[in-house]
Structure 1
Amino acid sequence: MNDRRLPVGIQSFEKIRKEGYLYVDKTDIIWQLANRNKTYNYLSRPRRFGKSILVDTLQAYFEGKKELFEGLKIMQMETEWVKHPVIRLDMSQAGAEQESLKGYLDYTFQEYESLYEIESRDNSPLATRLIEIIKTAYNKTGQQVAILIDEYDSPLQHSWKTPQHEACTAIYREVFAVLKSQDKYEKFVFITGITKFTQISLFSVLNNLSNISFEPEYAAICGITKEEVLRDFKPEINKLAEYEDWTFDEAVA
């Protein structure tokens, strides 16, 4: 019982799998999402709801890291394990001011430019650089690109009702509008946020985005359901019940 390790606060799928932490298997739902033939997808969930570990799992899947998925439901579904190039942005790192947002994108794009041996042009617009990264990743690998954008609305939330907000929004409109025009190079685009879909005006630049936030088949894609608690955490529930002198059902409640 005591050797079960719970992955509290761990956002790395690889660490959870390699170091033997308990993992509630979501990989069947993840496979369905990745293979449903809709390129552009948006998922809204509250903070601390497992969005980042979901994004990390998608990255491992698109990078073809089959060994991390041994024994999970996805193994009955995926047969090819094609390695796709992945471009990942974590916008919670970007700050809420125009300069820090630009700085984060510039730094991250530089990393991808060096990975794909693109001559970095510091004075080029960010949007142009993103197009170049997507096209080069596609041309060098022969595979379409997966683009994962986590905590998409973080800088917009934090700059809300400040003089910086319009400038941040303008950067978003410029940079993320290119995703739509590069669709022939893109396998899958996945964006997470905490904001209601309709509140972000700049979805007008990505009007082909499919909002899966309220679709029943993706309800359990992150977070833990009551059924999963009962199925996967019996030993911990029993231990809590014993410690508090409760019945099993009281501990569940």
Structure 2
Amino acid sequence: MKSVISIGNQDFISIRKNNCFYIDKTDFIREWWENQDSVTLITRPRRFGKTLNMSMTEYFFSVNYSDMGQYFKELSIWKEERFREIQGTYPVISLSFADIKATTYESARMSIIRKLVRLYSAFDFIRSSEALNEKDRTYFDSVGEDMSDDAAAVGINYMSDYLSRYYGKKVIILLDEYDTPLQEAYVHGYWEELTAFIRSLFNSTFKTNPYMERGLLTGITRVSKESIFSDLNNLEVVTTTSEKYSTSFGFTEEEVFTVLENAGIPEEKEHVRYWYDGFSFGNRKDIYNPWSITKYLDTGEYGTYWADTSGNALVSTLIRHSSAKIKSEMEDLLNGGEICTELDEQVIFEQLGRKRGAIWSLLLASGYLKTTRHEMDRRTGKREYFLKITNHESMLMFEEMIESWFAEEDSAYGNFKEALLAGDLDYMNQFMNQVALQSFSSFDSGTKPSENLEPERFYHGFVLGLIVDLAGKYHITSNRESGFGRYDVVMEPLQKQFDAIVMEFKVQNPAKEESLQHTVQNALLQIEEKNYDTELLARGIPKSKIRHYGFAFCGKKVLIGTDKSE
């Protein structure tokens, strides 16, 4: 019987019981159990099967589901008798922080407290058992929305004790999407308060918990050890660059191609690869996003399914407000190139906006970028990673994000591009000043008035917009020696009817240039002296089809001039 494509179903038994589309990932249970790590944190991008795997793990081990072994038959884990014997034999505490998306600390804290209240309610049947004494029952009854931070911190630890006494076995603790409330705390400005609360909870749950057999956490990002895992020496961290569990989350190409064969559409393999391949975990470079594949199988149409599943506001804000260096690297990525950077997967949030590698670590952990290779510095032992945009779907997400930067100035920005292509200098000046005036501030960090900053962030944001919006007409490259107030752009036409365009950006130097007109002339002179036309001429573009523009900036004022050499 043909499997049903069930969109959004993350319950393992529901999927198996109803013959829904499923690719066997139960070997994860064997690998995790055999590794014998006390506490494991696995980070993977969103929609990569983390919640489904946690559901699968709970159904396999929990005493509450000892009668569910039939749904593991014919799957990988059921091949070995030793695993068949432990199915349904452990007390399991299973929690998810996926829905904790609060805008204030008080709301986030209360959401976590309510998770504890529901946990105690689910195990209410052991309250009156002989395994608990009166002091235990007193604490049991104190678990409520008005409990103190100290009482909440030991809630999971105490429940582990109660369950281990009741069942005569240590507890398995599962926590899905542990970092969702932490991401919200960073975005909404209550990071320090929430990390202090969660640090106490996690230390009691995973560090000083003699009643825990194993702990398993999943999330998107690796929050630094100092933030919430302080002194947790028994923590095994598995990130996207780790070898462990490299095929347990996401679909391998072999699995995807088998599905396409079974669906009778083998001719779509290359298109599916172009759209959705490219994720890499450890040394595996052929991982596909499960959500996009499932949606494609359901609809039969290609689309940005994974990229559209949640807001990308944090990524957009970080790139838009980033340094000129980050934006210039983003230009390389949008042009299909790669960047080289160190990664620090342990300082994702603390270093965002301050450390160059942190934003790329976040984008890698989130799945928007992939590693193509890495090299090690023999002297320092540090690794440098080469990163690219993951696939066509991710590229479209970045393009849509950058287009949205100019949404408020749509009319002005659109008119500027039309004037640029038409060579209308008056319109270019009019609309460029309007765009700069309206959007300049949104490209700085907000720590100083924009007029007092080097305006390179705006230049790069502006050029990113050109790269995205004119991608079908031009190949755009830049030679960005931005630290000296210079930033030139070469636009090579992809269609013969368009002229090539060379732009030179310069910030006015009042000590040497008495006016913006003078700065424009220096910019045009530099185009000639540096022979910026050389590559265009070498590609067969005649001199008469190359236009030069000098952009002069002083604060938010812009003047564009041309040498009229066309």
TM-score normalised over the length of structure 2: 0.41
Query: Match of 2:45, as an amino acid?
Result: P
SS at match of 2:29: helix
Residue of structure 1 aligned with 2:95, choices 89, 92, 116: 89
Moved more, 90-99 or 16-25: 90-99
Pick closer, same or farther for the CA change 1:120–1:205 going to 2, 3 Å: farther
Question: What CA deviation, in whole Å up to 9, does each residue of 1:130-187 have, x standing for no partner?
Answer: 22111001111111111111111111111105342211111101111112111x3112
Q: 1:163 to 1:216 in 2, by over 3 A?
A: closer
Match of 2:155 in 1: 129
Paired residue secondary structure (1:157): helix
What is the 5 A alignment of 1:16-31?
A: 16-31=15-30
The 1-side partners of 2:245 and 2:154 are apart by: 34
CA deviation profile, 1:63-97 (whole Å, cap 9, x unmatched):
14312211101011313124211112211222333
AA of the residue aligned to 1:35: E
What secondary structure does 2:221 align onto?
coil
Contact 2:43 2:220 in 1 (8 A): yes
> Partner of 2:251: helix, strand, or coil?
coil
Q: Is contact 1:176-1:205 (8 Å) kept?
A: no
Say which SS state the counterpart of residue 159 (structure 1) adopts: helix
Worse-matched range after superposition: 227-236 or 42-51 = 227-236
Question: Does 2:148 align with 1:148?
Answer: no
Task: Quickly say closer, same or farther: Cα 1:230–1:249, change in 2 above 3 A.
Answer: closer
How far, CA to CA, are the matches of 1:89 and 1:208 in structure 2? 20
Q: 1:250 and 2:270 equivalent?
A: yes
Does the 8 A contact of 1:44 with 1:197 survive in 2? no
Residues 1:230 and 2:233 aligned together: no
**1:192 partner SS:** strand
Output the amino acid matched with 1:11. Answer: Q
Structure 2: how far apart are the matches of 1:82 and 1:54?
A: 16
**Runs of 5+ unmatched residues, structure 2:** 128-136, 274-566
Name the counterpart of 2:141.
Answer: 120
Mapping 1:72-83, distance limit 5 Å: 72-77=75-80, 78-80=83-85, 81-83=87-89
Q: Name the CA distance, whole Å, in 2 between partners of 1:204 and 1:139.
A: 28
* Counterpart-to-counterpart distance in 2, 1:30 and 1:40: 14
- Distance in 1 (CA, whole Å) between partners of 2:187 and 2:77 is 44
Is contact 1:173-1:202 (8 Å) kept?
yes
Would you say the 8 A contact 2:37–2:234 is kept in 1? no
Residue of structure 1 aligned with 2:185, choices 138, 143, 159: 159
Contact 1:29 1:217 in 2 (8 A): no
SS in 2 for 1:177: helix
Indicate how the Cα distance of structure 1 residues 163 and 215 shifts in structure 2: closer, same or farther if over 3 A, else same: closer
Q: Distance in 2 between matches of 1:155 and 1:225?
A: 30
Q: Which moved more, 1:143-152 or 1:76-85?
A: 76-85
How much does 1:200 deviate?
6.8
Q: Does 1:103 align with 2:110?
A: yes
Give yes or no for contact 1:109–1:129 (8 Å, CA) kept in 2: yes
Aligned letter for 1:66? G
CA contact 2:199–2:227 (8 Å) conserved in 1: no
Q: d(CA) in 1 for partners of 2:99 and 2:245? A: 26
- Distance in 2 separating the partners of 1:99 and 1:197: 21
- 1:15-63 CA distance string (max 9 Å, x none): 1110001211111232211332111001111111111101111111111
Name the structure where strand makes up a greater proportion of residues. Answer: 2
What residue identity is the alignment partner of 1:212?
Answer: V
Secondary structure of 2:229 counterpart: helix
Partners in 1 of 2:4 and 2:271 — Cα distance? 20
Question: Taking CA–CA contacts closer than 8 Å with sequence separation of 6 or more, which of the two structures ends up with the larger relative contact order?
Answer: 1
Counterpart CA distance in 1 for 2:75 and 2:22 is 10
Task: Give the Cα–Cα distance (whole angstroms) in 1 for the partners of residues 189 and 244 of structure 2.
Answer: 40
Q: Secondary structure at the match of 1:109?
A: helix
Match of 2:36 in 1: 37
2:49 paired residue number: 50
- Distance in 1 (CA, whole Å) between partners of 2:34 and 2:6 is 27
Whether the aligned pair in 1 keeps the contact of 2:198 and 2:228 (CA below 8 Å) is yes
- How high is the TM-score relative to the length of structure 1? 0.87
SS in 2 for 1:79: helix
> Closer, same or farther in 2 for the Cα pair 1:60/1:143, shift >3 Å?
same
Distance in structure 2 (CA, Å) of the matches to 1:100 and 1:207: 31
**What CA distance in whole angstroms lies between the structure 2 residues aligned with 1:85 and 1:174?**
23
Q: In 2 relative to 1, CA 196–127 (structure 1 residues): closer, same or farther, beyond 3 Å?
A: closer
- Aligned 1:181-192 pairs, distance under 5 A: 181-182=208-209, 184-192=210-218
Counterparts of 1:30 and 1:55, CA distance in 2: 10
